[in-house]
Structure 1
Amino acid sequence: MHIGWSLLLGFGGLFAAIFAQNIAFQLQQLLYDAPVESENTQMLLDIMTENVWLLIAVVILGPILEELVFRQAIFGHLYKKMNFFWAALISSVVFSAIHFDFTHILVYTAVGFVFAGLYVWSKRIIVPIIAHVLMNAFASLPILLDIDIEDLEEMEENLQFIFGILGAWM
């Protein structure tokens, strides 16, 4: 597969992951009153404002390592022994657990499912790596673009509302 296709699939994977994340968040809201923000993400954003090396690690190195471990190694091993659903579920729950944000376990698990699907569909680990890097970069935009966090939270709430309406409409 040409690198251009991998990039295109990675960008598509970003949108699929955001969509899955929003559906999982809506489900969380129905099941229990989870906070909008992930404690894990907020903690990293706070630290990254003071350390550019951590920003690079979270946006680039973390996704590479996580995809190699959770998709290529764990999911890849399980997928040889069981069907996609169970292999993706187990590897995604473990992926979710290492983020230590158990109020958002459904969100991280949903994203893990998308990344596992990208890996199987593309047959290349680079595709979920690209999607994961883009997702972490997207989450780090307030720091990268020096955007006021309160403005971003308001935009996020508006997007959650829009996705909620779209989800109910579909």
Structure 2
Amino acid sequence: MERILTVTNSQKVNKHKKTALYVLLIYILMQISGKWLIEPFHKLVMSTTGLASAQAAPLTQGWYIALSFAIALILSLFLTSRDKTFWDIYQGKKETIPLSIMWGIIGFFLVFIGQMIGVAIEMAVFGIQGGSQNTADIVAIAKGAPIAILAIVVFGPILEEFIFRRVIFGSLVQTTNFWIAAIVSAIFFALIHRDFSHILLYTICGLIFAFLYHKTKRIWTSIIAHVMLNGFVTLVQVYAEQLQKLLDELQKMQ
């Protein structure tokens, strides 16, 4: 009986590893697919809209990001749905759904505070000024093609939590400990954003997201915090002018 259980557990572990590998490969392919597909997709956008190359560029980038992220997420959800215990990396009872949601909301504020601390460290120690080129580029795409906001606020955070919290952190935490798994996954999370001047900020975010997942044993907790963070930043950046006008009008009314 013990041998049968051991074999069964070994089969589950091997299945989890395969699922994790496939999800990781899907994410990598999505990240590099633009090298081969963005140009033909750009031509398709120009032919269907009748726009010149420069005018069609923002639409191409926005729609390509939205579609590639959506396809990658759908494929990842399909693969993980076939592995019923893929998310059960922790022993013991998971946190209740209401508390998991609450921790997700708390996590948003923790990340916000963590980023402010990170900015202060960057300026005091390294002399790095605020403002992220990666964020600026993404916001520019979102302004040119609002469909990209879906990828930025919803598809992207979910995929990144699948990869960096379940695949990388989740695999490591089962064989090492929380800190090793959290630091390694957070560093990879920072590197994928390719904004090396602010690598500390992204690493802090990755550590907090890992803590949220570890705390509740539910991936949706870190997803909630991540979605809220991206949504808040996108809202402020994309609608900065409109928000400023609204604030000016409110001041005039006082």
Letter in 2 for 1:148: E
Distance 2:96 2:215 in 1: 15
Counterpart Cα distance in 1 of 2:131 and 2:243: 12
How far off its partner does 1:3 sit? 3.6
Residue 104 of structure 1, aligned match among 181, 198, 203? 198
> Are 1:67 and 2:154 counterparts?
no
Question: Taking structure 1 as reference, are residues 35 and 120 closer, same or farther at Cα in structure 2, changes over 3 Å only?
Answer: same
User: Given the alignment of the two structures, is residue 54 of structure 1 paired with residue 54 of structure 2, yes or no?
Assistant: no
CA RMSD of the aligned region, Å?
A: 1.7
Q: Per-residue deviation at 1:37?
A: 0.6
C-alpha separation in 1, matches of 2:176 and 2:164: 16
Q: Which runs of 5+ in 1 are unaligned?
A: 152-170
3-state DSSP of counterpart to 1:120: helix
- Counterpart of 2:188, as a letter, is V
Cα displacement (A) at 1:5: 2.6
- Structure with higher Rg: it is 2
Distance 1:5-1:61 versus aligned 2 partners, 3 A rule: same
Q: Deviations over 1:59-118 (max 9, x none)?
A: 000000000000011001111121211111110000000000000000000010000000
In the alignment, which of 77, 100, 116 is matched to residue 6 of structure 1? 100
User: Residues 75, 46 of structure 1: CA spacing in aligned structure 2 closer, same or farther, 3 A cutoff?
Assistant: same
- By relative contact order (CA 8 Å, sep 6+), the higher-ranking structure is 1
- Determine the structure 1 residue equivalent to 2:229: 135
Displacement of 1:143 after TM fit? 5.5
Alignment of 1:110-125 (within 5 A): 110-125=204-219
Distance 1:100 1:141 in 2: 22
Q: Which residue of 124, 147, 152 corresponds with 2:240?
A: 147
1:25 aligns with 2:119: yes
Task: Spell out the pairing of 1:68-107 with structure 2 (5 A cutoff).
Answer: 68-107=162-201
Residue 189 of structure 2 contacts residue 203 of structure 2 at CA under 8 Å; is this kept in 1?
Answer: yes
**Matched length:** 150
Identical amino acids, percent of aligned pairs: 37
Q: Which moved more, 1:93-102 or 1:76-85?
A: 76-85
